[in-house]
């Protein structure tokens, strides 16, 4: 529990543990898992009832998975 003293929260600890487990998977389970665990946000800007701009924000894992899928 020395991570607690270093200012790491339980949520961060849990998240790190989960990432390590995913990293140690065999392919193709790993790619599938990482893609399903990813996160992205789509921001759409509307002006006068029309969409003028779409922006997709991805985290690093999702970006990597998307890049791999498009290859």
Partner 1 sequence: MFRSVVMRAARTALRAEEAAASDPAFATKLKFNFSIPSTPIYAAAPVRMVIVPGASGVFGVLKDHVPTTAAMKPGVVQIQENEGETELKQYFVSGGFAFVKPDSSLDIQAVEAVKLEDLDVEAVKKGVANYSALVSSTTDEKEKAQAEIGLEVYQAMAAALNAA
Residue closer to partner 1, measured from CB, 26 or 53: 26
Tell me, rounded to whole angstroms, the distance of Cα 27 from its chain centroid: 18
Q: Could you tell me which residues come within 8 angstroms of residue 34 by beta carbon, excluding any fewer than 6 positions away?
A: 22, 61, 64, 65
Q: How far apart are CA 71 and CA 57, in angstroms?
A: 20
Residue closer to partner 1, measured from CB, 40 or 45: 40
Residues of this chain that bind partner 1 (CB under 8 A): 2-3, 5-8, 13-18, 20-26, 29-30, 33, 36-37
How near is the Cβ of 52 to partner 1 at its closest, in Å? 34
């Amino acid at each position: 529990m020395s991570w607690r003293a270093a200012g790491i929260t339980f949520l961060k600890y849990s998240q790190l543990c989960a990432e390590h487990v995913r990293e140690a998977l065999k392919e193709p389970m790993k790619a599938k898992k990482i893609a399903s665990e990813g996160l992205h946000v789509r921001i759409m800007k509307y002006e006068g009832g029309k969409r003028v701009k779409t922006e997709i924000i991805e985290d690093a894992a999702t970006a990597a998975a998307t890049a791999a899928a498009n290859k």
